[in-house]
Amino acid sequence: MQALPGFRDFFPEECARRNYIFARWREVARRYGFVEYDGPVLEPIDLYRKKSGGELVGQLFEFIDKGERHVALRPEMTPTLARMVAARARDFRKPIKWFSIAQFFRYEKQQRGRLREFYQLNADIFGDDSPGADAEMISLAIDMLRSFGFTAEDFVVRVSDRRAWNSFLAENRIETEAAGEFLQVIDKLDPNDSAATEQKLAAFGVSAAKLNEFLNTANQTWFEPLRHELDLRGLAKFTEFDLRIVRGLAYYTGLVFEIFDRSGKLRALAGGGRYDNLIEHLSDGATSISALGFAMGDVVLGELLTEHTTASESMEKWIRAQNEIDIYIVIAKEDRRADALRLGQQLRDAGWRVDYPLGAAKVGKQFQSAGHLNARVAVVVGEEWPDVNVKALATGEQRPIAHAEVTSHLATLLQP
Ligand code: HAM
């Protein structure tokens, strides 16, 4: 029996990489003063039908539950988060700055960088509609990637605005009902296939020339305050203005952005934008609060990490440190096992990472195990009990230590 297509087994190696990604995400989100939340994995399907829109709705893992409810596994966090904020917006000081790390499910076509199960970091700000908030969001996304060791040579944030597209739609008399569909088409245009582009645009009464003129000459003044804010932080070099970014989701109202690897080989690393009307829609007008955010996925990021020498070295170093143990207890005389177990328990209670052989084993084998586990110290329990021998495994230096001194001696040896 194999895992379903697009679903992953996380053996310890993959789990360690996942934890590394989560640790960086969490650390940087907290550096920016964001607090963590979570929501349900399963939601009423209408939440997505009404709020996500676009192709996402066709990708839902959906079923009827035993109570005859039509439900779906969450394909994204934003509708859940909007519902949560709509319900209790008044209870929180503004701006609300929240993040979460959660698993999502989309019945996607199998392709590189896209699975049917993946994790996202979501970070969102509510109650601030200034360019300062836009810049804060983009800075957070940039700093997350920088924390892995990536630089402006590795990735780029492509920034655009739905309002520019709204004026294009109005100028070209594209009805509001067709707007979503039109933006989906723009989102999926293949720059190398001009015949297909012409054909797709013609359905909306737009020519490729008209579209190109708009892409090349659109007014960029709205981008200036944002760019200035990023400049102050020294982060403007990570961004590019690019109207071709429209985003597939229905709820965006202003700024939208996506992050790509510079080589252009991979799918988007992250995407987000402003959705100032979603909460009002969800609460039937009861609560109105501006909102913006983004999500970064673990799959494409994981691919970029493995390809990047310094970033993957930092990751491997972190993983080694996570898996290392502090102390291996070598039981040199099997009839001292009871004493060794008591000592092991005492050392674990003191907070050290401790391991020992679960059954009788030759001393040489035990030292080998200590080596495999990257233990820093071996404590040898044998003839001399209640005294022990303590060996620093990096230097090979070994000393007999009186029982009463064991903990303080280890504390000195194991200083970080
Ligand atoms: P999204 O662009 O659909 O946005 O997803 C954001 C990121 O999630 C993508 O850039 C990608 O890294 C990852 N991702 C999406 N689908 C898959 C997949 N099938 N396999 C692997 N990774 C995937 C949203 O989800 C919005 N809710 C983001 C947002 C938050 N907007 C405002 N706040």
Element containing residue 153 per DSSP (H, E): none
Q: What is the pLDDT of residues 364-377, one digit of tens each?
A: 999 999 999 999 99
Q: What is the pLDDT of residues 169-204, one digit of tens each?
A: 888 888 878 888 888 888 888 878 888 888 888 888
pLDDT over 70 percentage in the chain: 100
Give the residue ranges of DSSP H helices in 110-221. Answer: 131-147, 162-171, 176-188, 194-202, 208-217
For atom 25 of ligand 1, the residue with the nearest CA is: 76
For atom 21 of ligand 1, the residue with the nearest CA is: 114
Question: What is the reported pLDDT for 239?
Answer: 95
For atom 20 of ligand 1, the residue with the nearest CA is: 114
407 Cα–ligand 1 center, Å:
49
* Token pair in block for residue 70: 């039509």
Distance CA 406, CA 346 (A): 11
List residues near ligand 1 (CB under 6 A): 76-78, 106, 108, 114-115, 118, 120, 122, 124, 249, 268-272, 293-295, 297, 299-300
Peptide bond into 191 cis (omega under 30): no
Across the strands, what pairs with 355?
Answer: 328
pLDDT-wise least confident of 6-10, 67-71, 219-223: 219-223
User: Which of 120, 258, 261, 300 should be mutated for ligand 1, with most atoms under 8 A from CB?
Assistant: 120
Whether 49 and 161 have beta carbons less than 8 Å apart is answered as no
Q: What is the pLDDT of residues 18-46, one digit of tens each?
A: 999 999 999 999 999 999 999 999 999 99
Question: What is the reported pLDDT for 191?
Answer: 75
Strand order in the sheet with 62-64: 42-44, 70-73, 62-64
User: Which of 61, 76, 282 should be mutated for ligand 1, with most atoms under 8 A from CB?
Assistant: 76
295 Cα–ligand 1 center, Å:
5
Question: What is the reported pLDDT for 352?
Answer: 97
115 Cα–ligand 1 center, Å:
11
For atom 30 of ligand 1, the residue with the nearest CA is: 294
250 Cα–ligand 1 center, Å:
13
**Neighbour count for residue 209 (Cβ, 10 Å):** 10
Q: What are phi and psi of 298, to 5 degrees?
A: -85, -15
Whether 378 and 391 have beta carbons less than 8 Å apart is answered as yes
Q: Which residue has the tokens 């674990």?
A: 348
For atom 2 of ligand 1, the residue with the nearest CA is: 271
- Measured from the CA of 120, which atom of ligand 1 is nearest? 8
Compute the Cα dihedral for 263, 265, 270, 276 and give only its sign: positive
Of the candidates 189, 161, 153, 114, the one whose C-alpha atom is nearest the C-alpha of residue 261 is 153
Residue 53 pLDDT class (50, 70, 90 cuts): low
For atom 17 of ligand 1, the residue with the nearest CA is: 114
User: Which of 118, 158, 160, 303 should be mutated for ligand 1, with most atoms under 8 A from CB?
Assistant: 118
Whether 261 and 158 have beta carbons less than 8 Å apart is answered as no
287 Cα–ligand 1 center, Å:
26
* Token pair in block for residue 378: 């071996």
38 Cα–ligand 1 center, Å:
16
- Does residue 355 or residue 186 have the better pLDDT? 355
